[in-house]
Amino acid sequence: MADIKTEVMTVNMGPQHPSTHGVLRLVLELDGETVLSVAPTIGYLHTGIEKTTEQKKWQQVIPLVERMDYLSAQSNSMAFCLSVERLLAVEIPERVKTIRVLLAELQRLNSHLVWLGTHGMELGAVSVLMYCFRERELLLNINELIAGFRMFPSYNRVGGLREDLPRGFHAAVREVLDRLPGKLNEYEDLLTKNEIYIERTRGVGRISKEDAIAYGLVGPIARAAGVTYDVRKAFPYLGYETFDFQVPVQTDGDVYSRYLVRIAEMRESIAICRQALDRISPTGAFAIDDPRITPPPKDRVYTEMEALIQHFLIYSQGFTVPAGEAYVPVEGPRGEQGFYVVSDGTNRPWRVKSRAPSLLACQALETMVVGGLIADVVAVIGSIDVVMGDVDR
């Protein structure tokens, strides 16, 4: 019997659409509501940051890279600083490493909270968004406390941190950490066992372990599919090997598994933060003691001529970095992240390339979405947690 002739409908989802996380554009071919094909189109947020960095001095790059993946500013700048420090072949103080771990984990919590909120909202559970942003506010307050800037603190510096931790930092972080587990339970009450949520997410946007590796997926998406790879465990940096934490792994590779992995990761992050906080002394070294890289403290700048000259040189000429290349991977909120940095021995980078986990996640969208319904597209986009700033750079 001949098929009833139906017309395939082409729908343009984005770049202006309430749930494409910014300016992602998907050209969907629909049969009824079933997705036959999807063609992601990106580049609407392409700001040429990689080209811009080549004109900037090394330390000027830090605020730029923070704006790439705007939900994980601390991770970005930390990854960049690690790469440059590797090129400079300097060893940063233990205290700075631990502070960076703490800030990176707080950033992961922050990013996952935004993810959970928007993901919940896209499935129609609007209240989850409000709850998550309520807690995210506390984390942003910590950023404000240390740097005076909530979204892009630019607190990391090559060779350490911009300044020492402010007074009351420990108490503020501990208060947030004490509050979060209970709030996580609250979110889980709303979603984890919710029949509708499970029906919407289980078996949706499935990707196999092999596909996840082949498409270069990392982080929670890959771990939800059964890949155990986590940079913090596989190639430890900043002394992650000394922290006691688990890498949550699920095997289904669907939206629900990604949700479970991220929730478990948040709990692990809280554990890491507690350990890190115990190790950080309230005051101490916050940068390496290297006059080439670190500017002198302000009181010396005001009183000593040499210090003033040093300060002036660092901020006008910058510092030079030996010729070579370096790539230090870190585990950002969205997976392996890092900056491939090439130096020609001058005070400006020759090439800075950011490894963008979101870009590859966008590429794999097709495998996850085709065959599902238009409502699943929204669920899947939410679950892979793309940040368009990271995709387009």
Partner 1 sequence: MSAFLIAQIVLTLFVFVMLLSSAAVMVYAERKVAAILQQRMGPYLVGPKGMLQPLADVIKLMFKEELRPRAADAFLFALAPMISATAAFAAFAVVPFGAETTFFGLLSEPLRLQVADVNVAILVVFAIASMSVYGVVLAGWSSNSKYSLLGGLRASAQMISYELSYGLALASVLVMANSLSLSDIVNHQAGTWFGVVPRWFLFIQPVGFLVYMTAGIAETNRAPFDFPEAEQELVAGYHTEYSSMSFAMFFLAEYINMVTVSAVATDLFLGGWHGPFLPASLGWVWFLLKVGAILFFYIWMRWTLPRYRYDQLMRFGWKVLLPIAAVNLLATAAGVLYFGI
Partner 2 sequence: MDSTELVRSLQEAVPGATLESAASLDLHATIYATRADLPAIARALRDGAGLRFDFLAELTAVDFSPREPRFELVYILVSTELVQRIRVKVRLPGSDAHVATVSAIWPAANWLEREVWDLFGIVFDGHPDPRRLLMPEDWEGFPLRKDYPVQITMVPRTAEPLQVTEQQFRASVEQDRLARK
Partner 3 sequence: MGSDTLFYLFGAIAIGASLAVIGQRNPIYSVLLLIASFGALSGLYILLDAPFVAVIQIIVYAGAIMVLFLFVVMLLNAPHEETEYDERVHPLLRSGPTRFGVALAVALMVELWWALTKGRETGGFPEGSVSSVAAIGRSLFTDYSFQFEVTSVLILVAMVGAVVLARREPRRPRSPGNQ
Closest CA to 134 of 152, 110, 150: 110
Stretch near partner 1 under the rule CB under 8 A, chosen from 86-94, 108-116, 119-127, 156-164 = 119-127
Residue 39 touches partner 1, criterion: CB under 8 A: no
Options 376, 385, 390, 392; binder of partner 1; rule CB under 8 A: 376
Query: In a 3-state reduction of DSSP, which class is residue 331?
Result: strand
Residue 188 engages partner 3 in binding (rule: CB under 8 A): no
Q: What's the burial of 182, exposed, middle or buried (CB within 10 Å: 0-12/13-18/19+)?
A: exposed
> Residue from 79, 249, 266, 328 that binds partner 2 (CB under 8 A)?
328
140 belongs to the binding site for partner 1 (CB under 8 A): no
Q: How far is the CB of 34 from partner 1 (least distance, A)?
A: 9
- Angstrom distances, CA of residue 39 to CA of 19, 22, 329, 348: 16, 16, 30, 38
Spell out the alpha helix ranges (H) of the chain: 49-53, 61-66, 73-88, 94-122, 126-147, 169-191, 195-201, 209-214, 219-224, 231-234, 255-279, 298-303, 305-316, 357-363, 365-369, 374-384, 388-392
CB-CB neighbours of 249 under 10 Å: 19
Please tell me whether residue 34 adopts helix, strand or coil conformation. strand
366 binds, options partner 3, partner 2, partner 1, none, Cβ within 5 to 8 A by partner type: partner 3
Strands 160-161 and 324-327, by their bridges, are: unpaired
Considering the rule CB under 8 A, would residue 121 count as an interface residue with partner 1?
A: yes
Q: Which residues pair with 373 in a beta bridge?
A: 34
* Binding track over 150-189 against partner 1, x by CB under 8 A: ----------------------------------------
Determine if 7 is a binding residue for partner 3 (CB under 8 A): yes
Pick one of 330, 367, 388, 393: the residue that binds partner 3 (CB under 8 A).
367
32 touching partner 3, by CB under 8 A: yes
Length of the chain: 393
Report if residue 393 touches partner 1, rule: CB under 8 A: no
User: How many Å from the N-terminal Cα to the C-terminal Cα in the chain?
Assistant: 52
Residue 208 found at the interface with partner 1 (CB under 8 A): no
Residue 313 in contact with partner 2, rule: CB under 8 A: no
- 211's tokens: 């596909």
| DSSP letter, residue 341 | E
The Cα–Cα gap between 230 and 81 comes to 20
Of positions 8, 89, 130, 214, contacts partner 1 by CB under 8 A:
130
In degrees, rounded to 5, the angle at the alpha carbon of residue 73 between the alpha carbons of residues 324 and 181 is 130
In the list 56, 200, 334, 393, the residue contacting partner 1 (rule: CB under 8 A) is: 200
Among 62-70, 149-157, 283-291, 320-328, which window interacts with partner 2 (CB under 8 A)? 320-328
Residues 6+ apart with CB under 8 A from 390: 68, 69, 334, 354, 356, 357, 358, 359
Task: Compute the distance between CA of residue 319 and CA of residue 81 in angstroms, rounded to an integer.
Answer: 13
With CB cut-offs between 5 and 8 Å by kind, which of partner 1, partner 2, partner 3, none does residue 351 bind?
partner 2
Residues 79, 330: contact at Cβ < 8 Å? Answer: yes
Tokens 């000394």 found at: 242
Check residue 316 for interaction with partner 3 (CB under 8 A): no
- Contact between 320 and partner 2 per CB under 8 A: no
Task: Verify binding: residue 207, partner 2, rule CB under 8 A.
Answer: no
Residue with token string 């095997």: 251
366 binds partner 3 (CB under 8 A): yes
Say which entry of partner 3, partner 2, partner 1, none residue 385 contacts (CB below 5 to 8 A, set by partner kind): none
Q: Which H, E and C letters describe 186-218, residue by residue? A: HHHHHHCCCHHHHHHHCCCCCCCHHHHHHCCCC
Interface residue with partner 1, options 71, 123, 217, 263 (CB under 8 A): 123
Report the interface residues with partner 3, using CB under 8 A. 1, 3-4, 6-7, 9, 31-32, 34, 36-37, 366-367, 370-371
Report the interface residues with partner 2, using CB under 8 A. 42-43, 46, 48, 50-51, 55, 83, 86-87, 89, 211, 213-216, 218, 227-229, 234-235, 322, 324-329, 336, 338, 340, 342, 350-351, 353, 355, 359-360, 362-363, 392-393
Report the interface residues with partner 1, using CB under 8 A. 9, 11-12, 17-19, 33, 120-127, 130-131, 134, 190-191, 194, 196-197, 199-200, 373-378
